[in-house]
Structure 1
Amino acid sequence: MSWLTAEEALRALKTKPQTLYANVSRGRIRAKPDPADPRRSLYQAADVQRLAERHAGRRKAETVAAETIRWGDPVLSSAISTIIRGRLFYRGQDAADFAAAATLEQTAALLWNGAAAASSDSAGKYAPPSLQAAFLALAGRVTADLPSLGRSQAALRRDAHDVLSTVADALAPGPSDQPLHVRLAASWQRPQAADCLRCALVLLADHELNASTFAARVTASAGAALSASVLSGLSTLTGPLHGAAWQGVDALIEATAGVGAEQAIRRTLAQGNSLSAFGHPLYPDGDVRALTLLSHFPLPAKFTELRDAGEAMVGEKVNIDFALAAMASAFDLPREAPIIVFSLARTTGWLAHAMEQIESGQLIRPRARYAGPAPETIASR
């Protein structure tokens, strides 16, 4: 990955420093501290070149459209969340500040623009949290639930309550009169982790147009049931480049235990693999969600070793995937705890985006830029 100094970036862009900094804050240009001088920043060359070409008017419309799907400008308008100058906001409220005391239920109320409460009809003995159970429960609803198209926001919000309850019964089983973070901590028999889980759930509730949220919006745009949108989001979240990135962190920790953090990082980079524990394109100065969550518990020794070595060698700070894996280790939670927490939290965001997409009345249907064999000539008739 090639990096430019501020002077080089400004020459390529033919713009003022204020414009360069604005593009960084909006996530259009990735930046990192200059290892030679921490007071200065370096800027990702490919991002600078992309913007320079756009400003020069040399790109075709289909190229612009294609790049919007790959960390480009937002492809959809949304009033739900955004990242500005390294801070995450939920409907204008700073998410890190909101996470100081809010619950996931209160976050759902904020994201949905209406009162939210996760209720449950389950009773008696509760099964452990299970991602498989969430998939099965959602799949069982999809063909029975009403399509979302043509229904009022009040009706959709009632459906959203019900879908969240279905997911909560699978991922945080427990009495309906208890907050979801308390239910989740109790289900793992770790009551001391409840407040940390609460914070993590709030911080992970939404994150603009990430891959799983986009999948959920595409499903909703076709008029499918809200349960189908959540099922689409959940399926996408399980990918190793998204919600399952914590597994890469676990692998680094295992290697650190064997050969030390520096050698583990060197081996990973030498094999051509990325380090899922470090960096995020939208947070050039560090993932605010990770910084907030890590302040809630003592960092285990191996994670401290990995963080210190990685940040020095890579030049990027740890991200939310690192923080989730560290939280699971600190409280001795089950190995799959990060994806359970992520899935439960992000369900609220998927539902918010699905309802917003339905209200827009627009079908998401991009065109493909054909790159296959030349079509055969159609004989004239």
Structure 2
Amino acid sequence: MNDNVQPDRRPPRFPAFGIALLVTLLLLILIVIGSRGLRDFDSALIGYAVATVFTVAALAYRYTLWISRPPTWRYFRAGWANFFSLRNFSRYSLLIPKAWWTDILAQTFILKRGLWRWIMHMSIFWGVILSLAITLPLTFGWLRFTLIPPDQYLAWFFGLPMLRFPIEAGTGFAIYHALDFTAALLIIGVVIALWRRITDAGLLIVQRFSFDLVPLVLLIAIAVTGLALTASSMWWEGKFYWFISLTHQITVVLWLLSIPFGKFFHIIQRPASIGVTLYQTINQDIEHYGEHTHNNATTEGGQCERCGQELPSEQFIHDLKGVLNDLGQQYQLGEGLGSLHDYCPTCKRVLRGSAYYHLMGKRFL
């Protein structure tokens, strides 16, 4: 194995502010186009729209900084390279859909940790995703409804007619109460999460109020005030509607602005795990089958320089050395000994112990 493996190139220093500005301008252009020159934009929702634009800008800024970090960029780039490889596609064509299901959509990996924990994650995840999928198009003026006398509505999206449905039928009821269903789903998940956080001793020790609890409190406040708006319209003859709507808007804005800097930023990061899953699977196969195409050459998993035990694939070792080199960390052991990463974990401990003994002599014992 080559002792002087160098990274292909250092991670690029993306202009995070510039990319955030570009993404924001693109969103504003889509808002104008999708609302037909703001003709379908509801001025009553401007507070939600402004908060969403700021949130998108902050998300783009922080995501760019995150993806530019040496470890993230190297494995992110390797994941995409594996994804677009024709050889990998033929071997792992079902891996990506499976990973989307197990890691994102169904999150079955959490089910292995406990049923209630899985129900909590799924309720919060889908409650948030479905709520955003409904409210963002409404907020931006992309989605609107017009009355077709005497008893039907027509749904428009980006100025195009999409769905015609009767007001009183089940379809109309489901569409106009979709946010109530997602609010109920959120309440289920958040109640379980809060219960765990006040009863689990392990969580009580490490949790932080602003990072772990505040986002959950904001979510349940959003869900409860959203349901209260429906109750005010249907049963309370509009009483307290203005106060409830203002409270609801404030909590939504606060939650949106907290996403780039808080716990829920991992929702944005999570899809990157698909590339990690592909990278790990390919490298595990290299360990088992001993060969793989990397940089248009056939490479094999290496062996420990001391005991000959099989090491992870050369691509993994290459990327690990590259990341450490990007971070300014060198682990060369001297002439003839190679790098610390050319040894298995057991031999690393042996080498470390030998070095301590050579330095300290009998005092080491």
Normalization by structure 2: what TM-score? 0.23
Rg larger for? 2
Length-normalised TM-score, structure 1 = 0.22
Task: Give the structure with the larger helix fraction.
Answer: 2
